Amino acid sequence: MSSTPIGSTQFLVGIAVRAHGLHGEVAVEVRTDSPQERFAPGARLATSRPGSPAGALTVASARPHSGRMLVRFVEVPDRTAAEALRGTRLLVGVDELAPVEDPDEFHVHQLEGLAAELVDGTPVGTVREVVHGPGGELLVLARPELPDALVPFVRAIVPTVDVAGGKVVLDPPEGLLDLESST
C-alpha cells in the first residue's frame, strides 16, 4: 500500500498531530508505506484542514520518532506555527505516485471499486474505501441491500488482490460478514 485516497487526485500521506519541541518540528502520523520518499527534504505536500484554505508545505527535514515522523517544514518557523498545523492532512497528487511494477504491490487507491468475492467465487460486494484503524488497515465493503462491512486487510483474510482482474478474494473467519440484528 502506498497512501490513502482523498477525492480523485490527492492521497493522504500523513496527519499533523502536534508540535514537537520549540523549533517548529511537527509530529506526523504517517499514512504511507514510503515515508522516506514522501517526507524527503524538498518534497512539497498539499495541505487540507477543515475551516482553512488549502495550501502547501515544503519539507525541510524529517526523522522517525516513536512510530511517527518528526517533520520540519520550511514555512513553519517555530512551535506556535507548528501547533497551528494540528489536524492538518498532508497530501500528494496522484501524478506524484510512482507506477507499481510488482504484481503483488499496489497503491491503496487502486483497491477502490474492486469486486470482493469469497474464495468459492460468491460475490460479497465492492471495495468502497480503505481506512486506517489503530490495529491496521480495513477494507470497507459496500454490499447490496446490506450495511457496509469492515474487513481487516490482512493476508489471512484477503489472500488475493488482483488489481488487473478487478477483484479481491476474501477468506473471512466465521461470522465476520454476518449481519447483526439491529432491530
Q: Is residue 175 part of a domain?
A: no
Q: Is residue 181 pLDDT above 50, yes or no?
A: no
26 contacts 18 by C-beta, under 8 angstroms: yes
Percent residues over pLDDT 90 in the chain: 61
108 contacts 132 by C-beta, under 8 angstroms: no
Instruction: Kindly report the CATH number assigned to the domain that includes residue 120.
Output: 2.30.30.240
**What is the C-alpha to C-alpha distance for residues 109 and 127, in angstroms, rounded to an integer?**
10
- On average, the pLDDT of the chain sits at 87
Number of domains the chain contains: 2
The pLDDT, as a whole number, for residue 163 is 87
- Candidates 183, 162, 160, 158; CA nearest to 173 is 158
Are 91 and 147 in a shared domain?
no
Q: Is residue 179 pLDDT above 90, yes or no?
A: no
Q: Is residue 68 part of a domain?
A: yes
Against a cut of 0.75, is the pTM above it? no
Answer with the residue of higher pLDDT: 106 or 145. Answer: 145
Residue 152 belongs to what domain range? 111-170
**What is the C-alpha to C-alpha distance for residues 141 and 138, in angstroms, rounded to an integer?**
9
Mean per-residue pLDDT, 24-40: 91
**What is the C-alpha to C-alpha distance for residues 24 and 19, in angstroms, rounded to an integer?**
7
Are 67 and 141 in a shared domain?
no
Are 21 and 51 in a shared domain?
yes
Are 86 and 116 in a shared domain?
no
Are 28 and 88 in a shared domain?
yes
Q: Is residue 5 pLDDT above 50, yes or no?
A: no
What's the distance, CA 165 to chain centroid? 22
Instruction: Kindly report the CATH number assigned to the domain that includes residue 60.
Output: 2.40.30.60
The pLDDT, as a whole number, for residue 99 is 65
Are 89 and 60 in a shared domain?
yes
Are 23 and 79 in a shared domain?
yes
List beta partners, residue 116: 125, 168
Q: Is residue 176 part of a domain?
A: no
The pLDDT, as a whole number, for residue 33 is 77
The pLDDT, as a whole number, for residue 2 is 44
The pLDDT, as a whole number, for residue 98 is 65
**Cα–Cα distance list, 1 to 19, 136, 137, 140, 146 (Å):** 27, 12, 10, 15, 27
Answer with the residue of higher pLDDT: 126 or 179. Answer: 126
pLDDT digits (tens, 9 = 90+) for 9-31: 788 889 999 999 999 999 999 98
Are 87 and 125 in a shared domain?
no
Q: Is residue 79 part of a domain?
A: yes
Mean per-residue pLDDT, 61-77: 95
pLDDT digits (tens, 9 = 90+) for 86-142: 999 999 987 776 666 776 777 777 888 999 999 999 999 999 988 877 778 899 999
Answer with the residue of higher pLDDT: 4 or 151. Answer: 151
C-alpha cell at 83: 501547533
